[in-house]
Amino acid sequence: MSKLWGGRFTKQTNALVEQYTASIGFDQQLAEEDIQGSLAHVTMLDKCGIVPQEDVETIKDGLNRVLEKIRAGEVEYSVSDEDIHMNIEKNLIQEIGAVGGKLHTGRSRNDQVATDMHLYLRNRVIALTGMLHELQTSLIGQAKDNLDTIIPGYTHLQRAQPILFAHHLMAYVSMFQRDIDRLIDSYKRINVLPLGAGALAGTTFPIDRHFVAEQLGFDGVYENSLDAVSDRDFILEFLSDASIIMMHLSRLSEELVLWSSTEFNFVELDDAFCTGSSIMPQKKNPDVPELVRGKTGRVYGNLMGLLTVLKSLPLAYNKDMQEDKEGMFDTVATLEGALQLFAPMIATMKVNKGRMREAVNTDFSNATDIADFLVGKGLPFRQAHEVIGKTVLYCIQNGKFLLDLKLEEFQQFSPLFDDSIYEVLKPETVVDARNVYGGTASVQVQAAIGRAEETLSVS
């Protein structure tokens, strides 16, 4: 059989042109969605009396047979049929004969491909939300096991104030919750039907777009036919959301890599999630977080790529828009790959509580609290800051930490110090003193975990 659009042509397509313009190599991923859309379209053609019922039955039957063959790997796609839409139509006509040619009545590949993309992304967004939930569950599990584990909290990667390790993990739970919320919000704009826009202007057939939308579970139809076939905002939005998710995963990755180093030694990733070195027998490398950090680049690249493809494109469809697919598929695969690994990797991570404790015991992250202690005794905060700065300097010069100082040593810096300072300086006291909503005090972190679990259970 020749090209589906061959009528107007007098020559064969140049073989290199066929190769260059074909998208079948990657858009075959849309086969299921393409057939789903066609089934709804043809059902509408019957309902609206555009194609006789018996022809519609034959077409539906044929589409289902083509779908089975695709699933069984029995369909050989051909580059000369350019894309998934024409490959499927060709296969349908081979299956049921010329009547298969009625499927494309009142439709264009322009509104067809857009519909496929909406169907595809709708499913992926739901799946990704579930994967983010899994990751949150792992993080919450670790947080619950670490409600009494204190680590130094950092600013500028310098030890700042002690915090619960659980509190640190719950920060990521909040970040991933925003990611989930963003994906759910984007669903509104994904779940809109372009079909019925035709090539660009609508169609002369008395179709019923709302009926198709209802059958496919779309919440509505595009208002404007030009916009329907040329809008790729929903893909851009997905790529933006994906970029932010990858950025979050990359920040967590960076921390895991740091924490796994001998220098930190805060956590140990399970052997099943690490790899070794071909030369250095002692090595256990955190390849997964490193690669997630690295792959964040390609997801950002996909977003920038599509933004650039779309800029300056005149309305309506342009072949440039075929470039929307590979970056989107790659982003979905990259994101799903990362999330699938992260949930079990976090769940099986060993937390080195002893080492964390040692870190907290050998730093000055309790310094703010003695400044606050002096403020409690009536000293203005700025003066208290100065006094403690000097006290810390004295400690550094004498190889001591604040808890090592005798009361007389404290009193050299201020007569306001008394015995109660030792209780104030304990890491537990310091942590629990931050008893504000969203703070690191154990009761607050427990409450935060409770709220996060509540959100997870209702979603």
Please, what is the minimum distance in Å from the beta carbon of residue 233 to ligand ARG?
16
Closer by beta carbon to ligand ARG, 183 or else 321: 321
**Annotated catalytic residue: which of 2, 156, 278, 312?**
156
Closer by beta carbon to ligand ARG, 319 or else 406: 319
Region binding ligand ARG by CB under 6 A among candidate stretches 31-39, 313-321, 356-364, 391-399: 313-321
CB 423 within 8 A of CB 429: yes
Please, what is the minimum distance in Å from the beta carbon of residue 281 to ligand ARG?
50
For residue 325, the one-letter residue type is K
Closer by beta carbon to ligand ARG, 27 or else 369: 27
Closer by beta carbon to ligand ARG, 232 or else 248: 232
The secondary structure of 147-197 as a DSSP string is TT-EEEEEETTEEEEEEEHHHHHHHHHHHHHHHHHHHHHHHHHHSEE-TTS
Q: Which of 322, 352, 365, 366 binds ligand ARG (CB under 6 A)?
A: 322
Please, what is the minimum distance in Å from the beta carbon of residue 325 to ligand ARG?
6
Give the containing element (helix H, strand E) for 350.
strand 350-351
Distance from the first to the final alpha carbon of the chain:
51
DSSP secondary structure letter of residue 440: S
CB 413 within 8 A of CB 402: no
Q: Is 277 a catalytic residue?
A: yes
x-or-dash pattern for ligand ARG, window 259-298, by CB under 6 A?
----------------------------------------
x-or-dash pattern for ligand ARG, window 327-366, by CB under 6 A?
----------------------------------------
- Kindly determine how many residues on this chain lie close enough to bind ligand ARG according to the rule CB under 6 A: 10
CB 253 within 8 A of CB 290: yes
**And the tokens for 131?**
């994967």
Can you say whether residue 413 is alpha, beta or left, with left for phi > 0 and alpha for psi between -120 and 50 degrees? alpha
Closer by beta carbon to ligand ARG, 321 or else 367: 321
Taken as a whole, the chain contains a residue count of 459
Binding to ligand ARG (CB under 6 A) within 70-129 occurs at 83, 109-110, 113
Contacts (Cβ under 8 Å, ≥6 apart) of 88 = 31, 34, 35, 38, 63, 66
Helices (H), 352-420: 353-361, 367-376, 381-398, 407-413
x-or-dash pattern for ligand ARG, window 20-59, by CB under 6 A?
---x---x--------------------------------
Please report, as ranges, the residues that interact with ligand ARG according to CB under 6 A.
Answer: 23, 27, 83, 109-110, 113, 317, 319, 321-322
Q: Which residues are catalytic?
A: 156, 277
